[in-house]
Chains A and B, each alone.
Chain A
């Protein structure tokens, strides 16, 4: 597709998003619209909250819109909000619907078809699609109230987990050494947790003092414990938006951990998070015979 045709398509979609947002605000259907606006670098994008119809003119959408805006619904519980949702992000909505964190009738989902997002850094827009987009099988959101944009005809690669298989073939000692090196860089900024739509415990185990689960030391052992528990808490719940890896200021390859568990949960339980709002994640369910005496 030529540059001209592409930007025309972008503008068409942006106009549709703005029109929809304006209508929703003017009619009082929602109190706010969570979308994207141009970032300060004039090149990439950032989350934007529009509360009145004049603000909707700031809304944009293009291949730099990497943020998973569904996370923000957790901060707006009880409010009627609209949110711009890419196909991948819609899995987070399903997860949160299933876990009763989002009320379907309070959220207006502006689904957008998505040709994939590119690698971005502040002040830098890459040319290539993010790895997660190359293997994304969704051409439109799984759940939406309105679907905007032209449906994409992009052919996705199959997720083969080739990097995970390579890592699995390494010895325990090699893998331990690799992760110790990675986790020694962790500064416990908790950006991975803060950006994750699946991380919403009122008090995170990492903040608990009594009992103490993990200490405050920013040091390899405690960093490892933090990252291990974080990852396992997302087993069968991670929807693969990969925001944790994107925001990590020291570039820890968290997707390797998340996708390893995704692969295992697929194999063991034939389950992938966020595809169906009715089906609970395997670790949030049990069979009747598994119930303990006091639970019957």
Chain B
């Protein structure tokens, strides 16, 4: 179903949504565009390429308390954390919506992650189609598109005098006001993107586990966590317990395979001691382990990692290098 909303219609609708739910939307913070819960509709930025961080943080926050344990008069009580509000993530790009759909794989498979599942089921996704591709974008090579409807509840496409509103799911339909006219016109042509060859990347990667390529690439890598934290599909975390005034909180925070302590075991053994092994893990997770487990490449082509990397490690270039290495091997 396609509807049409003028800009005023859209603002009125957002005002009413904000009365009932938390609205998480792109806002400007010190020159950066970030997803944040808004208090006023005027805070929302509509004119942006993509946000600095993906909206994954709404579902897997950088830090959250999973539960706390209280001890009182010899009684031990486990207090679970609850998701108390319905929410809308507004203005996310189709690639980022796909990122959330990919995170569903590990988080919603049985036994599902309770907090993630709660947030996911109580949050609707209102996407904003891209009218311009950024230099870092390659979503069409990774199973998405600037106008991809697949993973949102509603998709908005900006046109000259307002927005085309594509209603994708029942969850989306339930959010909308009555009285918006049907849209009968044509859809604008989405921007064209350069494609990167991803054919048989999964099998190409498999053969290159011991290739010196990884140590060479790791020469340049700083082994910070930027790529993992800006990525809409990187979902690794660390969990620790913190005692605080008679209770203990179990806390989960983002963590990444690039950290030196990430794979260190309690016995002192570390299966990934070299920087090359750690860097390889990130690409292997995206291009081999995730597809083997969940049938999709674990990258949505948002290009944030390449853009934010201080030393220009770009997954597009890595994929192309891996394919060349495979071709060279099969040729020799």
**Do A and B actually bind?**
yes
A residues neighboring B (CB under 8 Å): 39-41, 44, 46-49, 67, 71-72, 75, 122-123, 181-182, 185, 187-191, 193-195, 203, 207, 215-219, 243, 246-247, 249-251
- Residue pair A46, B242 in contact (C-beta under 8 Å): no
- B residues 206-265 near A (Cβ < 8 Å) are 216, 219-220, 222-226, 228-230, 238, 240, 242, 251, 253-255, 259-261
11 A-B pairs with CB atoms under 8 Å apart are A49-B220, A122-B136, A122-B306, A181-B30, A187-B53, A187-B229, A189-B226, A189-B229, A207-B261, A218-B63, A251-B30
| Cross-chain contact of B310 among A123, A193, A247, A251 (Cβ < 8 A) | A247
Min CB gap A76→B, angstroms: 9
B271 CB within 8 Å of chain A: no
Question: Which residue on chain B has the smallest CB distance to residue A216?
Answer: B253
- Residue pair B238, A189 in contact (C-beta under 8 Å): no
Given contacts A46-B312, A72-B219, A75-B275, contact A217 B63 (CB under 8 A): yes
| Cross-chain contact of A194 among B30, B136, B223 (Cβ < 8 A) | B223
Category for how many chain B residues contact A: 35 or more
Binary CB contact string for chain B from 55 to 93 against chain A (1 if under 8 A, 0 otherwise): 000000011000000000000000000000000000000
Min CB gap A234→B, angstroms: 17
- Residue pair A249, B52 in contact (C-beta under 8 Å): yes
Question: Which residue on chain A has the smallest CB distance to residue B309?
Answer: A122
Binary CB contact string for chain B from 306 to 318 against chain A (1 if under 8 A, 0 otherwise): 1111111010110
Question: Which residue on chain B has the smallest CB distance to residue A244?
Answer: B310
Q: A13–B275 Cα gap in the complex (Å)?
A: 32
- Residue pair B242, A215 in contact (C-beta under 8 Å): yes
Q: A246–B226 Cα gap in the complex (Å)?
A: 13
- Residues of chain B contacted by A247 (CB below 8 angstroms): 222, 224, 226, 310
- Residue pair A67, B317 in contact (C-beta under 8 Å): no
Given contacts A191-B310, A246-B310, contact A48 B220 (CB under 8 A): yes
B29 CB within 8 Å of chain A: yes
- Residue pair B254, A187 in contact (C-beta under 8 Å): yes
Question: Which residue on chain B has the smallest CB distance to residue A39?
Answer: B312
- Residues of chain A contacted by B251 (CB below 8 angstroms): 215-217
- Residue pair A49, B216 in contact (C-beta under 8 Å): yes
- B residues 109-132 near A (Cβ < 8 Å) are none
Number of A-B contacts (CB under 8 A): 109
Q: A48–B238 Cα gap in the complex (Å)?
A: 33
- Residue pair B311, A67 in contact (C-beta under 8 Å): yes
Question: Which residue on chain A has the smallest CB distance to residue B256?
Answer: A189
B135 CB within 8 Å of chain A: yes
Q: A182–B211 Cα gap in the complex (Å)?
A: 42
Question: Which residue on chain A has the smallest CB distance to residue B275?
Answer: A75
Min CB gap A163→B, angstroms: 16
- Residue pair B312, A218 in contact (C-beta under 8 Å): no
- Residue pair B240, A40 in contact (C-beta under 8 Å): no
- Residues of chain B contacted by A203 (CB below 8 angstroms): 260
Question: Which residue on chain B has the smallest CB distance to residue A215?
Answer: B242
- Residues of chain B contacted by A47 (CB below 8 angstroms): 219-220, 311
B32 CB within 8 Å of chain A: yes
Of the candidates B222, B223, B254, the one having the most CB atoms from chain A within 10 angstroms of its own CB is: B222
Q: A51–B171 Cα gap in the complex (Å)?
A: 57
B31 CB within 8 Å of chain A: yes
Q: What 7 new A-B contacts, CB under 8 Å, besides A122-B308, A187-B229, A247-B310?
A: A41-B135, A71-B222, A123-B307, A190-B225, A195-B224, A216-B63, A217-B63
Q: A218–B316 Cα gap in the complex (Å)?
A: 29
- Residue pair A191, B225 in contact (C-beta under 8 Å): yes
- Residues of chain A contacted by B224 (CB below 8 angstroms): 189-191, 193-195, 247
- Residue pair A122, B312 in contact (C-beta under 8 Å): yes
- Residues of chain B contacted by A249 (CB below 8 angstroms): 52, 226, 229-230, 308
- Residues of chain B contacted by A217 (CB below 8 angstroms): 63, 242, 251, 253
Given contacts A46-B312, A247-B310, contact A40 B317 (CB under 8 A): yes
- Residues of chain A contacted by B307 (CB below 8 angstroms): 122-123
- Residues of chain B contacted by A194 (CB below 8 angstroms): 222-224
- Residue pair B240, A215 in contact (C-beta under 8 Å): yes
Given contacts A40-B306, A207-B261, contact A251 B275 (CB under 8 A): no
- Residue pair B222, A195 in contact (C-beta under 8 Å): yes
Q: A124–B125 Cα gap in the complex (Å)?
A: 32
- B residues 17-74 near A (Cβ < 8 Å) are 29-32, 34, 52-53, 62-63
Question: Which residue on chain A has the smallest CB distance to residue B223?
Answer: A194
Min CB gap B248→A, angstroms: 13
Question: Which residue on chain A has the smallest CB distance to residue B217?
Answer: A49
- Residues of chain B contacted by A191 (CB below 8 angstroms): 222, 224-226, 310
Q: A290–B216 Cα gap in the complex (Å)?
A: 47
- Residue pair B220, A250 in contact (C-beta under 8 Å): no
Q: A182–B29 Cα gap in the complex (Å)?
A: 10
Question: Which residue on chain B has the smallest CB distance to residue A121?
Answer: B307
- Residues of chain A contacted by B136 (CB below 8 angstroms): 122-123
- Residues of chain A contacted by B261 (CB below 8 angstroms): 207
Min CB gap B317→A, angstroms: 5
Q: A296–B166 Cα gap in the complex (Å)?
A: 79
- Residue pair A40, B312 in contact (C-beta under 8 Å): yes
Min CB gap A79→B, angstroms: 11
Min CB gap B201→A, angstroms: 18
